[in-house]
Structures are given as C-alpha cells and as structure tokens.
Copies of this chain bind each other. A is one copy, B any other.
C-alpha cells in the first residue's frame, strides 16, 4: 500500500465506538486521556518485525495484529494492571495490500475489545523494506501496588500459570507444514497465534503485599534468571513439576521440557510469593479456575537458577538462559 492513502487508511481503522469516555483519540497531534489519582499509569512497547517475528506460513495478518497487542497486554498483566489504551506504529512496504493491513487492525481490535482497550493513536509510515509493527500499550494499577521482578525473597514459592511450551510447539507444527498434523494440533497453533494474556491473574496477584512477577515471553529459564538477578536470590526449580498441556505431550513428549524452558511466547505469568500467601493465592485461583503450579522455591544467593532433573540431580542454568542438559 502507498502511504499517500494514509489519511483514508487511518479513517478506516479509527474505532467507531470507544470503551472509555472523555478522551481525545485518533485525529489530533496526540491523544489525551484523563487519570485517576488512586492509580499509577503503566506503559510498555512491543515490536514485531516481518521475517523475524512472523512468516506468511506461520501468522496471518489477523494473527500478527492480535499477537502484537496480546504481548503488550501480557506485560501489563505482569505489573498487575488493568489494560486501557493502545497506539500502533506501522511501517508498510508497498507489497502489502490494504486488505491485509486492515486484517492486522482487525486482529488488534479483537484483542483490544477483549480487554476493553481503545486504539487512541499511532503513526503510519511507508518503508522500502519489511513490515514493522510497534504497539504501545497503556494501563493502570492501584498506587503502591508493584509486582516487580526485584520482590523475590528467600523461602518464597515459585509459581507459574497455565502450561508451558505450547507456543513453541505450535510454531513447530506450523513450520513442519503438514496439513494433517496441523489439523490435529489446532490447540498448540492457537497458543502460538492468539495467546491469552493472564490479566485476571495479574489483578489477583496485585492484591498481595509482596509478589515478584514476569510474563513468559522469552522462556521460563530467561524469566527466572531475570527475577533472580533483580532480587539477588537463587531459585531451585523441579523439572518434574513444570506444567504441560496434554496436547503438547501428545505432539512431542521429548521436546516438551526444552520448549517449556526456552521456547517463550506462552505469555503465562511466573513469579514468587511467600509460603503463607501461596495457600491463599492457590485457593483463589482454584475458585477462579486459573491453573497455577508450584514449581520450586527461592534460596539465599546471587542470581543463580538451578533445575532438578528427573534423576533428582541439580543443575545450574547458564547465563545465556540455555542449559546444555536440556538441549
């Protein structure tokens, strides 16, 4: 598409109705929204690059839009926040059709509507190279409630939501390219293409006084390393307690552990909470039907992560977040 048609294009993607009131959205130099002094503002940005984060064989334009926003919502969930607004900057190569671009915005809108988020701005530019989409998401969290990576303390329970490795499994299914296998693994494919951020769990966690938290965007090991480093503690994880979906184990039992540890993009929440609060948290999650697993504990230390393998042996995870044992 030529960006000479930018004004027409923006009109087509401008939301007809808004979830929030009293705001200035698309159509001026900048967006303006009102604030609530009981809350603090959350903001994050996430970028997806054609050929790097998606291929025509793995993601339709709709999926690109959905996932670009979902990844951002997941970051807001990891801060315990309520998603509110988003802005989209898109750099468009001339070989992309307007219909494909509108599908990207359909995907964005679908993810946005699920969390009552309004598209309030952005930038549309043309490029001589690949499509780049950069989404800025804005949310809010009650003042003083901060689910930081640096909050872990000795004795804490390490928890993770849902199941891990599914997104990487789904990507593997897609790259394999076998239509029959793809038909049998639609769950894993959905986990790759339209991930579900854990906003409700983030909100539950925000009510506890001390929680460390990350979303699983880069793989479990990488997220645990970040928490351990930020909190200056060690962690001990039991590989036998890592949660998998039945779909993943049926698709590739052998690679499930590796994908869980290093695959990433599951957009589950991983973190730590005191032993006392763990009981209360797991009771609430059971009631709310949110799967949550206790996968280990926090030790005094200096940013190291240990994983106990199925033979009961402890292994330190390397700094690159990648363990030879699991490769």
- Write the residues of chain A forming the contact surface with B, with a CB cutoff of 8 angstroms: 24, 27-37, 39-49, 51-53, 74-76, 78-79, 81, 85, 87, 89, 91, 120-123, 125-130, 132, 134, 136-139, 141, 143, 146, 148-149, 213-215, 230
Q: Given A24-B146, A27-B230, A130-B129, are A41 and B32 also a contact pair (CB < 8 Å)?
A: yes
Question: Oligomeric state, in number of copies?
Answer: 2
Which residues of chain B are within 8 angstroms of A43 by Cβ–Cβ distance? Answer: 30-31, 33, 43, 85, 87, 120-121, 136, 138
Contact indicator B29/A214 (Cβ below 8 Å) = yes
List 20 A–B pairs whose Cβ atoms lie within 8 Å, in order of A's numbering.
Answer: A28-B78, A28-B230, A29-B44, A29-B74, A29-B75, A29-B213, A29-B215, A31-B43, A31-B44, A32-B42, A35-B41, A41-B41, A44-B87, A45-B89, A47-B123, A48-B125, A49-B91, A52-B128, A89-B89, A129-B129
CB distance from A92 to the nearest CB of B (A): 10
Most buried by B among A53, A76, A121: A121
With both chains docked as a complex, state the minimum distance between the C-beta of A161 and any C-beta of chain B, in angstroms. 14
- A35 CB contact (under 8 Å) in B29, B40, B121: B40
What separation, in Å, do the CA atoms of A127 and B30 have in the docked complex? Answer: 28
